[in-house]
Amino acid sequence: MPEPMGASGPGVEPGWEAKRARLETYFDRTAFAAWAALTSDAPVSKIRATVRAGRDEMRNLLLGWLPQDLTGKRVLDAGCGTGMLSVEAARRGAEVVGIDVSPQLVAIGQERLPQDVKRQITLVSGDMLDPALGDFDHIVSMDVLIHYEADQIADATARLAARARQSLVFTFAPGTPLLRTARAVGQFFPKSDRSPSIIPVGHGYLKARLSRVERARLGRDARVSRGFYTSHAQEVITG
């Protein structure tokens, strides 16, 4: 297994490393078993079942924005978890690097890799902004930036877009009244059903920031809402 990636280097929005450390603690200790189950077909609570359904829908949406034929293309699954999106991209012919903050989720992903695409996928733990990962044809980041402040998201997406030869697709938590209410209600859930703090942000603000990124233009965007899952996808065309 490759060594974990290091820090993401200078220029990262303040607080990025501290938040990343808290997320690693959450996914590796507080709710590891719950997320291992959520990313499988194991039975889960009704609350988590809606999250699973929403994540499945979002994953399919993001994959739908990638070419059907990815032969010879290099794809970064930024925030890969157990590698479900990585597997689907590899089955289209891509060489995939999946990186996640949680070493334990990455380890599960490595165990679950299907034999037919195992050689095309490299899963590592570390920082998705690490420039040592190199450049990619397409970068996908699903439900990672939902835990960050607007300025951190804008900074991270600009850095990722600079390393994407054709496109970047990512998700964020939209600043809707419904999501803000759901976030407040979620604090009263049993501990096993809680997630790290989701930070709703304004889509207009993100679009304004991304419109200033060199050689990048905004593409499609869409929202997925399923029960207690709400996430908004944005495409950035860089090619």
Instruction: Please give the pLDDT value at position 33.
Output: 83
| Residues contacting 11, CB < 8 A, separation 6+ | 155, 159
- What are the two backbone dihedrals, phi and then psi, of residue 174, each rounded to the nearest 5 degrees? -70, 145
Instruction: Please give the pLDDT value at position 218.
Output: 96
Query: Can you list the residues of the chain whose pLDDT is less than 50?
Result: 1-10, 188-190, 192-194
pTM here?
Answer: 0.86
Give the rounded distance of the alpha carbon of 13 from its chain centre: 18
Instruction: Please give the pLDDT value at position 36.
Output: 86
Residue pLDDT, tens place only, 100-146: 999 999 999 999 999 999 999 999 999 999 999 999 999 999 999 99
Instruction: Please give the pLDDT value at position 159.
Output: 96
DSSP 2: P
Instruction: Please give the pLDDT value at position 10.
Output: 44
CA separation for the pair 143, 100 (Å, rounded): 12
From the candidate CATH numbers 3.40.50.10440, 3.30.70.600, 3.40.50.720, 3.40.50.150, the one assigned to the domain spanning 18-237 = 3.40.50.150
- Give the torsion through C-alpha atoms of 60, 63, 64, 70, to 10 deg: -150
Residues listed for the chain:
239
CA separation for the pair 47, 194 (Å, rounded): 10
